[in-house]
Amino acid sequence: MATRLLLLLLLLLGMSLKGSEGAWCVCRRDVAEAALQKALDYACGHGADCAPVTPSGSCYSPNNVAAHCSYAANSYFQRNSQAKGATCDFGGAATLSSTDPSSGTCKYPATARDKHRNRHGGCRHRHRYKHEHEHEHEHFFPGLCNCSHGYADHGRDLRYADRRRRVWADD
C-alpha cells in the first residue's frame, strides 16, 4: 500500500513538473509602446516567424503592439537563443517568463522544436522593398515569410542584405 501511494505521489510530481518546462520571452507591459514597436520590428526583421500576428494569423488577436511584440520576441528567442546566443532583452522591452502565454488558438513555442506550432496552409504576403537602384518593386513570397508582419504596419521598407536575407532598410 505504501509503495502504491509513493508511486502515485511520484507520478503527480512528474506531471506537475512537466507542465512547468520551458521559458518564454515576452514583452513587458510597463515599457513605452515605441520600445515595444522597435522590439517587434527587430524580431520580425531578423528571423522570427511573424506570420501568426498578421491579420489572418492565429495570434493576431488581440491586435495590439504589446501582444504582437511578445509573440515575435518569443519566436526570435526560441529560434536563435541556443544556436546563436540570443538573449530575451530587446533593449529592456522583454523578459523571460516561466508562464506559457499561449491562449486559444495562439500557441507560443517553448523550444526551437516548437517553431511551427502556428503554421497553417501557406499564405501569401505582399512586401515592397526599395531596390538598390531606388525604384520600388512589389513581390509575393509564397508561404510564410519571416518578416511577414509587413513593413506597411511599421512604416519601414525591406531590402535584401544578400540573396536570401531580407532586412529593414534602416538597419
pLDDT of residue 86: 80
pLDDT at 18 over 80: no
Q: Is the peptide bond before 62 cis (omega within 30 degrees of 0)?
A: yes
Distance between start and end Cα atoms, the chain: 66
pLDDT of residue 99: 95
- Contact yes or no for 44/50 (Cβ under 8 A): yes
DSSP secondary structure letters along 26-55 = EE-TTS-HHHHHHHHHHHHHTT---GGGST
pLDDT of residue 127: 37
How far, in Å, CA of 57 to CA of 74, rounded?
Answer: 16
For residue range 119-146, list pLDDT tens digits in order. Answer: 433 333 333 334 344 434 333 333 333 3
For residue range 28-57, list pLDDT tens digits in order. Answer: 999 999 999 999 999 999 989 999 999 999
pLDDT of residue 94: 98
Residue 134 lies in a domain: yes
Is residue 84 very low, low, confident or very high in pLDDT (cuts 50, 70, 90)?
confident
Residue 2 lies in a domain: no
Higher local confidence (pLDDT), 82 or 11 = 82
Residue 41 lies in a domain: yes
How far, in Å, CA of 45 to CA of 76, rounded?
Answer: 10
Q: How many domains does the chain have?
A: 1
How far, in Å, CA of 93 to CA of 27, rounded?
Answer: 6
For residue 135, the enclosing domain spans 21-168
pLDDT of residue 110: 86
Residue 16 lies in a domain: no
Residue 95 lies in a domain: yes
0.75 exceeded by pTM: no
Residue 30 lies in a domain: yes
Residue 54 lies in a domain: yes
Residue 8 lies in a domain: no
pLDDT at 108 over 80: yes
pLDDT of residue 69: 97
Cβ neighbours, 10 Å, residue 85: 7
How far, in Å, CA of 129 to CA of 50, rounded?
Answer: 18
